[in-house]
Amino acid sequence: MSRITIESIEAIIVDLPLKRTQRFAAIGADSTAVVLVRVRTSDGVEGIGECCTPSGPWWAGESVESIKLMIDDHIAPHAIGHDVFDIRGFYRIVDRKLFGNAFAKAGVEMALLDIQGKIAGVAVCDLLGGRQRNALPCSWPLATGSAEAEIDEAERCISAGTFNIFKLKMGFLSPEEDVARACAVARGLEGRGSVRADPNESWDEATCKWALPRMVDAGIQLIEQPLPRWNLEGSARLSSSCRAPIMADESISTPRDALDLGRIHAADVVSIKVMKHGGLGRARQIADLSLAMGMSLYMGTFLECSIGTAASMQLCATFDHLPYGGELSGAHLVAEDIAIRPARYEDFELKLEDGVGLAVEVDEDRLRSLRRDRTHSTHTLGTAVG
């Protein structure tokens, strides 16, 4: 036992404006909210973490409000006094007291690893197996519903050198409109940008039978979770027939999910996300299991701000093979961040920052003006995407 123990845990809801409306299959949003987690030790070291859900509980049942409640009332009382280096013991305690709630647990574990890195003088990626990369090719979400507008947005990103991989968020239009839009964007960016598609569980197999070949013919290079998360057999049929890789996201949250997907080859690629897996360490375990089952890895996101993005990038740095890159682009979508040093996108990649722990710090002034219980606000809207 290290005898460096948890003295306090604080969960703060922060509301962040977005640069433009972000659409998902079930919802659209002009802002997002995150939970900043601050863990302080008995000897004065502070670790930070971030919990982020994609604009509400529609994706996994958790919201920023429920996350804060669970941390305040059901995690912190059992974690206070616990050894900050005993993360296995932390999970053993909170898993007994609290079923599920992976997002809330992930935020606290993130802060504990930040503390460990600061005490040991190393980056979190070194605690998770060692650095294999310093950058990640990232995709940018296209989610307006207008092919013309999305081609224009993509071209601005290409010109700025920030992104040349794009993922179409789908499911909020009819399948016919969505497929026509996807084909138009892929053809409009041919030779300049790679395009993927994410229907967010919106289609059935009959729709996929005619939609997927048309999109692949137009140049769509990867298709994410077209079927409901429970339909693994259907996804296996798609994986065996589609000429583009099928990626699982909603279908894989636990180690059991990775086994189930791999046994019937229900996906070619899996999207690894720190929040849905319940933490950085558990995400690393699921990534290793997925690789052992013959599936490729992709670094997914819930559109975190720069704090959660830095944490995901620490995990991503331990992956030596990411054939389709990832999408840690949330920090570029928020109009205002709460990190002193925002995530850095250069040469079409997200860069891994040097430093100990998560290598990211909170901007206290921004936090005061953006936290939900603030007494004043100074944030602005309307920053251009590029």
**Cβ–Cβ < 8 Å for 362, 307:** yes
Q: How many CB atoms lie within 10 A of CB 377?
A: 11
Locate 44 and state its tokens: 């004065």
Answer whether residue 98 shows pLDDT above 60: yes
Q: Looking at residues 49-69, what average pLDDT do you find? A: 84
Beta strand 296-299 with 28-41 is unpaired
Locate 335 and state its tokens: 């109009």
Among 9, 4, 3, 58, which residue's Cα sits nearest to residue 35?
Answer: 9
> Under 8 Å CB-to-CB from 27, ≥6 apart: which residues?
54, 55, 56, 58
DSSP string, 291-313: HHTTPEEEE--S---HHHHHHHH
Residue-level pLDDT at 18: 86
Residue-level pLDDT at 275: 95
Among 238, 245, 220, 228, which residue's Cα sits nearest to residue 168?
Answer: 220
* CA–CA separation, 368 and 16 (whole Å): 12
Residue-level pLDDT at 381: 43
Among 338, 365, 316, 11, which residue's Cα sits nearest to residue 137?
Answer: 316
Q: Which residues are designated catalytic?
A: 169, 327
* CA–CA separation, 37 and 24 (whole Å): 26
Answer whether residue 379 shows pLDDT above 70: no
* CA–CA separation, 325 and 5 (whole Å): 37
pTM: 0.92
**Cβ–Cβ < 8 Å for 357, 114:** yes
Which domains are present in the chain?
A: 6-125+365-369 (3.30.390.10), 130-356 (3.20.20.120)
Q: How does residue 61 score in pLDDT terms, banded at 50, 70 and 90?
A: confident
Residue-level pLDDT at 205: 97
Residue-level pLDDT at 56: 65
Answer whether residue 380 shows pLDDT above 50: no
For 130, 135, 299, 303, the CA distances from 326, given in Å and listed in that order, are 19, 11, 4, 12
DSSP-based three-state secondary structure for 145: coil
Q: How does residue 21 score in pLDDT terms, banded at 50, 70 and 90?
A: low
Among 60, 51, 55, which residue's Cα sits nearest to residue 22?
Answer: 55
Q: Looking at residues 82-106, what average pLDDT do you find? A: 95
Answer whether residue 22 shows pLDDT above 80: no
Q: Looking at residues 152-162, what average pLDDT do you find? A: 97
For 132, 248, 263, 266, 327, the CA distances from 323, given in Å and listed in that order, are 14, 15, 21, 18, 13
Q: Looking at residues 15-42, what average pLDDT do you find? A: 80
Residue-level pLDDT at 32: 87
Residue-level pLDDT at 24: 58
**Cβ–Cβ < 8 Å for 17, 192:** no
Q: Looking at residues 241-252, what average pLDDT do you find? A: 97
Among 15, 73, 9, 16, which residue's Cα sits nearest to residue 336?
Answer: 16
Q: Looking at residues 57-80, what average pLDDT do you find? A: 90
Residue whose structure tokens are 């300049």: 192
Q: What mean pLDDT value characterizes the chain?
A: 93
Answer whether residue 57 shows pLDDT above 90: no
Locate 48 and state its tokens: 């930070």
Answer whether residue 27 shows pLDDT above 70: no
Answer whether residue 295 shows pLDDT above 50: yes
Helices 205-218 and 175-188: crossing angle, nearest 10°?
Answer: 20
Q: How does residue 3 score in pLDDT terms, banded at 50, 70 and 90?
A: confident
Q: Looking at residues 370-384, what average pLDDT do you find? A: 62
* CA–CA separation, 27 and 286 (whole Å): 28
